[in-house]
Structure 1
Amino acid sequence: MTFKVGDKLPSVDLFENTPADKTHLPGYVAKAEELKSKGISEIFCISVNDPFVMAAWGKEHDATGKVRMLADPKGDFTDAVDLGVDLQILGGKRSKRYSMVVDNGTVKELNVEPDNTGLSCSLADRIKV
């Protein structure tokens, strides 16, 4: 069946804007220089999303030069590190919220939010360097 002129719009929930209290990326942007002064050479934000959304998100939060915004459009990286979660309200497959410190390709610290989306252990001020 093809949707066509004259058809009624379906009754489907759509979403606009984002929750105001999710300060994950802004915290890393704000603390980028502090983290780098402690020996962190690069800060990455990886999300199961497309590159255009990641670029816009980074621009919105003034992340350029502070946090590199990386898209994982199919969730390949997220699956490889076993940090995927099915969040239907966000469209299905997403990444658990976490922070990770990596040194020469080896994970030295991993902080995964216990509820997959919260803001307790993965914030910028919780990174131990």
Structure 2
Amino acid sequence: MTIQTGDKLPQASFMTFGENGPEPKSTDDIFSGKKVALFAVPGAFTPTCSAKHLPGFVEQSAALKAAGIDDIACLSVNDVFVMGAWGEQQEVGTEVAMLADGNGDFTKEIGLELDGTGFGMGQRSQRYAMVVNDGVVEQLFVEAPGEFKVSSAEHMLNALKS
């Protein structure tokens, strides 16, 4: 079953790339007591993800924070080393936390997995964005296959302002 607005996020563990290398982070570490803009991409270094999705959230980070967002996080079903390298290449700095859902456990649990085996990518995440307030989904924007509209930083910013 796909997660819905009003649902609490399931407990999960993610990997991030910190100063001392890979570090685990729990759902509580990331979402408790904060309003977080979480967006997910099918794959690091892929064309739309690298040209539009991640850069949009980096560019709009100040505006999102001015609209009440405490933290911004990018999730992908990639390993922590890939997410770390992609974050470096995209120069995200501290603006966006890069979350590796390496085995796709969180993605499966929220029902937003994508079968990319036809493209040689295995199981991945659908493209989506959500506003999570203290672990509860306030707003959810899931893209139709092959589209990039409602999960953009600009769309989220407009939704936060309305």
Give the TM-score normalised by structure 1. 0.81
SS in 1 for 2:102: coil
Matching residue of 1:9: none
Matching residue of 2:47: 19
User: Higher helix share goes to which structure?
Assistant: 2
Matching residue of 2:100: 71
1:118: Cα distance to partner? 2.1
User: Higher strand share goes to which structure?
Assistant: 2
Structure 1 residues 90 and 124, CA, compared in 2 at 3 Å: closer, same or farther? farther
1:22: Cα distance to partner? 4.1
Q: Relative contact order: is structure 1 or structure 2 higher (C-alpha 8 Å, sep ≥ 6)?
A: 2
Identity %: 44
Matching residue of 1:98: 128
Which runs of 4 or more aligned residues in structure 1 lie more than 3 Å from their structure 2 counterparts after TM superposition? none
1:90: Cα distance to partner? 4.5
Letter in structure 2 aligned against 1:19:
P
SS in 2 for 1:23: helix
Matching residue of 2:88: 59
Higher radius of gyration, 1 or 2: 1
SS in 2 for 1:43: strand
Q: Structure 2 unaligned runs (5+)?
A: 1-44
Matching residue of 1:111: 141
What RMSD, in angstroms, separates the aligned Cα atoms of the two structures?
1.5
Q: Deviations over 1:11-70 (max 9, x none)?
A: xxxxxx743684100000110111011110010000000000001111111111100000
The total of aligned residue pairs comes to 112
Mapped partners of 1:100, 1:90: distance in 2:
27
Matching residue of 2:31: none
The farther-off stretch of 86-95 and 32-41 is 86-95
